[in-house]
């Protein structure tokens, strides 16, 4: 087996057995990137100099057998909305091109302490606004399974990078489905943890009541390893929760007999791709064959989720993006004659089309006279959606649904119709509004050989149950081992 195709677990074994060194692993991955990256276009920035420094430090740790973790010497890719001191962080936005953060995000500090190696910053939809990575201010990332199709979004660069074996694992962020949906479209394992499970300090904010960082990997086992190192309370993030972090990896392979799986009728709607429905139902039957009980449930307020999300998320985005005015933050237009024109022109040049659309929507729903009619009402309906899940979890342990209603769509197919694009996240938005953890794992392919994702939604802070379900499934199926031909 090629080194670049190995999982984090397999690479770790090779490293501690001293069969290969972190620097040699890095050489192999950068050679792989040289071959594959021109086709896929996952990276905004390759951090070669930093990566080799980190690999050398990891090598010393392994030779001295000091502080060696499962991530020591492992090459990881980072979504380009997480700040790394002195390394350009752009959020895939022209507005932030050339921005060098003066501090490092907590999750990256934790990975650094574990001895991980940062191979590069990955492409995304600008400010994480999108479901296809077509809204990047720089270029569109391609799906490794079909270079004419999107990898999903907004963490499309991270998903494509893992699927194309250009890193051993990656970090993404998820607001409305930005880890789970691209994980499904690229055939990898992606976990969106419970809101508050992982620190957001150093993540450039999109919607602060929804954003969450999570792992994107080749397997559920690797996901468990990565989550263990990034989870936990952080005094720098007041929304992170002081909830014990368990060893997720040790919790894998538990018997699932007697587990109750909820299947909501609202997620198997008209318009869903037939092969997606079929693959997901087959996966659910697999769990039934292992002794799990299938329970038909209803989440009645699901139909309002998209509307609620695009009011709350755009409102919070409009508030968060107010700081990018060309004065303290962001690109400044130097051709303006006065300060008002400078604000206008800076934002006109610095913000992409989708960003402008969301700022306008968000500013509108927060404006005087509309706040109560839209934003306040959306928050009330959000509570109803949360209560739907709480009621369902009184009778079931996990909920299973498709991750995305379709497999990867063609580049350009939905760009002229934002509403169709927004519906790409229809199955991931409701659990996110409720702050729940969810994982997407590969569960089949369609007739075009494009991956299908199964979404497993869990109770708050029960990531171990999701990871265990995913691990049990991957132990006896091989969907996650399939590789795109590049």
- pLDDT for 289-331, tens place per residue? 999 999 999 999 999 999 999 999 999 999 988 888 888 778 8
Q: Does any domain span residue 96?
A: yes
**Which pairing describes strands 43-46 and 75-79: parallel, antiparallel, or unpaired?**
unpaired
Q: Does any domain span residue 180?
A: yes
* Boundaries of domain holding 135: 3-258
DSSP states of 339-393 as a string? Answer: HHHHHHHHHHHHS-HHHHHHHHHHHHHHSTTTIIIIIIHHHHHHHHHHHHHHHHT
Q: Residue 105 and residue 83: Cα distance in Å, rounded?
A: 5
The full length of the chain comes to: 486
Q: Does any domain span residue 398?
A: no
Task: Specify which residues 117 forms β-bridges with.
Answer: 75
Q: Does any domain span residue 69?
A: yes
Cα–Cα distances (Å) from 127 to 206, 286, 350, 355, 438, in that order, read 6, 38, 12, 8, 22
DSSP states of 194-235 as a string? Answer: PTTSB--TTBPPS-TTT-EEEEEESSHHHHHHHHHHHBS--T
The total number of structural domains that make up the chain: 1
pTM: 0.96
The CA-CA-CA angle for residues 6, 9, 10, to 5°, reads 45
Q: Determine the pLDDT at residue 265.
A: 94
Instruction: Put the strands of the sheet holding 293-297 in their side by side order.
Output: 43-46, 117-122, 75-79, 169-174, 212-217, 189-192, 438-445, 451-457, 398-402, 260-264, 293-297
Q: Does any domain span residue 201?
A: yes
Q: Does any domain span residue 53?
A: yes
pLDDT tens digits along 195-215: 999 999 999 999 999 999 999
For residue 285, indicate whether it is catalytic.
Answer: no
What mean pLDDT value characterizes the chain? 95
Mean pLDDT, range 434-441, rounded to an integer: 98
User: Per the residue annotation, which of 9, 41, 79, 192 is the catalytic one?
Assistant: 79
For residue 418, pLDDT over 80 is answered with no
Rg (the chain; Cα; Å): 21
Instruction: Tally helices (H) and strands (E) across the chain.
Output: 15, 11
For residue 208, indicate whether it is catalytic.
Answer: no
Burial of 166 by CB count in 10 Å (0-12 exposed, 13-18 middle, 19+ buried)?
buried
DSSP assigned state of 193: P
Q: Does any domain span residue 143?
A: yes
Q: The domain spanning residue 38 has which CATH number?
A: 3.90.1300.10
**Residue that the structure tokens 């004419």 belong to:** 148
Cα 459 from chain centroid (whole Å): 19
For residue 5, indicate whether it is catalytic.
Answer: no
User: Per the residue annotation, which of 131, 178, 199, 318 is the catalytic one?
Assistant: 178
Q: Does any domain span residue 287?
A: no
* Other beta carbons less than 10 A from residue 342's beta carbon: 18
Cα–Cα distances (Å) from 340 to 2, 325, 331, 344, 360, in that order, read 57, 10, 15, 6, 18
**Residue that the structure tokens 């990566």 belong to:** 51
Q: Determine the pLDDT at residue 340.
A: 86
User: Per the residue annotation, which of 131, 154, 404, 424 is the catalytic one?
Assistant: 154
Q: Give the model's confidence band at 182: pLDDT under 50 very low, under 70 low, under 90 confident, else very high.
A: very high
């Amino acid at each position: 087996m090629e080194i670049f195709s190995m999982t984090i677990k397999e690479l770790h074994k090779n490293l501690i057995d001293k069969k290969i060194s972190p620097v040699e692993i890095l050489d192999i991955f950068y050679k792989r990137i040289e071959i594959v990256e021109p086709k896929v276009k996952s990276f905004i920035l390759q951090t070669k100099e930093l990566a080799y420094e980190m690999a050398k430090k990891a090598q010393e740790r392994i030779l001295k057998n000091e502080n060696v973790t499962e991530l020591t010497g492992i090459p990881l890719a980072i979504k380009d909305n997480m700040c790394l001191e002195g390394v350009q962080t752009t959020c895939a936005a022209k507005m932030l091109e050339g921005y060098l953060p003066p501090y490092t995000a907590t999750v990256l500090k934790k990975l650094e302490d574990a001895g991980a190696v940062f191979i590069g910053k990955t492409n995304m939809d600008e400010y994480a606004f999108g479901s296809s990575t077509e809204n990047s201010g720089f270029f569109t990332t391609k799906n490794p399974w079909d270079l004419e199709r999107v990898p999903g979004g907004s963490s499309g660069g991270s998903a494509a990078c893992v699927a194309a074996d250009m890193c051993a694992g990656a970090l993404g962020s998820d607001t409305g489905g930005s880890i789970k949906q691209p994980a499904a479209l690229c055939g990898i394992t992606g976990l969106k943890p419970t809101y508050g499970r992982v620190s957001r300090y150093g993540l450039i904010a999109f919607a602060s009541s929804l954003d969450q960082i999570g792992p994107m990997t080749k397997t559920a086992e690797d996901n468990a390893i990565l989550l263990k190192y990034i989870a936990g309370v952080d005094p720098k993030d007041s929304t992170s929760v002081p909830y014990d972090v368990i060893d997720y990896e040790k919790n894998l392979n538990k018997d699932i007999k007697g587990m109750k799986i909820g299947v909501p009728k609202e997620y198997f709607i008209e318009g869903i791709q037939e092969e997606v429905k079929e693959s997901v139902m087959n996966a659910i039957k697999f769990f039934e064959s292992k002794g799990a009980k299938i329970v038909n449930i209803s989440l009645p307020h699901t139909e309002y989720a998209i509307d609620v999300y695009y009011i709350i998320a755009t409102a919070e985005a409009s508030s968060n993006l107010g700081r990018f005015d060309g004065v303290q933050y962001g690109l400044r237009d130097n051709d303006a004659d006065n300060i008002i024109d400078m604000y206008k022109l800076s934002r006109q040049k610095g913000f992409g089309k989708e960003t402008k659309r969301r700022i306008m929507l968000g500013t509108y729903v927060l404006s005087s006279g509309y706040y109560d009619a839209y934003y306040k009402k959306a928050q009330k309906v959000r509570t109803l959606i949360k209560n739907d899940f709480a009621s369902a979890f009184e009778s079931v342990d996990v909920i299973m649904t498709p991750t995305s209603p379709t497999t990867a769509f063609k580049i350009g197919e939905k760009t002229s119709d934002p509403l169709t694009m927004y519906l790409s996240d229809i199955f991931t938005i409701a659990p996110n509004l409720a702050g729940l953890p969810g994982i997407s794992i590969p569960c089949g392919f369609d007739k075009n050989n494009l991956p299908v994702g199964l979404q497993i939604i869990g109770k708050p802070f029960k990531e171990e149950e999701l990871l265990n379900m995913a691990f049990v499934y991957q132990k006896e199926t091989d969907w996650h081992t399939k590789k795109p031909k590049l």
